Amino acid sequence: MNIFSDELLKNIGLISVITIAALVSVLLIALLLTYLMFRNTKIIKFINNKVSSVVLKVLLDILDLMYMPAKKITITLGGNDMMTDVVGTEIRNILFKNTFSRVPYNERIIVIPQCLRSLECPAKFNSVEGAKCIECGKCKIKEISRKAKELGYIGTYIAPGGGFVKRIIKKTKPHAMIGIGCPYEVNLGLLEVSSKGIPCQGVTLLNSGCVTTDVDLNAVFETMELCKQKEK
Ligand code: SF4
């Protein structure tokens, strides 16, 4: 004996098809917008300044919720697999910029990936604080570390691997954070940190990889110096 009538089953089937079609359509529209933003990141600023930041927030929510399908569709269509992460990072940077800028320098930390170190890095690793840069000058971390000291940041931390950000946030209790890394790491890192209510900014590496990567120092310094008081 059928528990559900044929008509009820038909309606459930119809609603399921309509829901799936609606979700796929929303994702495709979001991906089209993401593609345009990836080709020209100025569009993100334009939408934020001239249209509404709500559009960016909605797009970001869709990309976060449908992260894996969005990546799979992008790759299937022959697109850049970093597209979602690059655009996600740009949007988060714009949305959090003001709140980040209001946090004094001495309440911020900066987290750097260990792949930015020289292969001959003499720094020793500490399980809680990561690698401690001794500013030997063999990589750009020396400049970043000096700048952080000059501005009065809580600290510059070199992440040895996954889970480090959580540990260092627990230890240093910052009110704002800058993360450097490949687009994937930065995008998901910003998502995690902002979900804890900590305003953050990300700077993506110039070349991704597991060793001797590179970063634009001017972009890092510009982000480190973001400060609302200075703008007044
Ligand atoms: S500058 Fe710091 S991080 Fe870079 S190689 Fe020297 S000690 Fe290591």
Per the structure block, which two tokens stand in for 139?
């990589």
Return the ligand 1 atom nearest residue 139 CA: 4
| Cβ atoms within 10 Å, residue 55 | 14
Task: Evaluate: CB of 118 within 6 angstroms of ligand 1.
Answer: yes
**Ligand 1, atom nearest to 131 Cα:** 3
Say whether pTM exceeds 0.95: no
Residue 173 lies in a domain: yes
Instruction: Tell whether 91 is covered by a domain.
Output: no
Tell me the C-alpha distance between 189 and 197, whole Å: 13
Show the tokens assigned to 230: 């200075």
- Domain coverage including residue 57: 6-81
| Total domain count, the chain | 2
Q: Quick check: 133 and 158 in contact, CB under 8 A?
A: yes
Q: Quote the CA–CA distance of 82 and 218 in Å, as a whole number.
A: 22
Tracing tokens 């750009």 back to the chain, one arrives at 140
Give residue-wise pLDDT tens across range 135-161. Answer: 999 999 999 999 999 999 999 999 987
Residues 166 and 124: their CA atoms lie apart, in Å, by 20
Interval 179-224: pLDDT, tens: 999 999 999 999 999 999 999 999 999 987 778 899 999 999 999 9
Structure tokens at 69: 């399908």
Residue 86 lies in a domain: no
Same domain, 109 and 190: yes
Cα(130) to centroid(ligand 1), Å: 13
Examine residue 94 and state whether it is found in any structural domain, yes or no: no
Same domain for 74 and 139: no
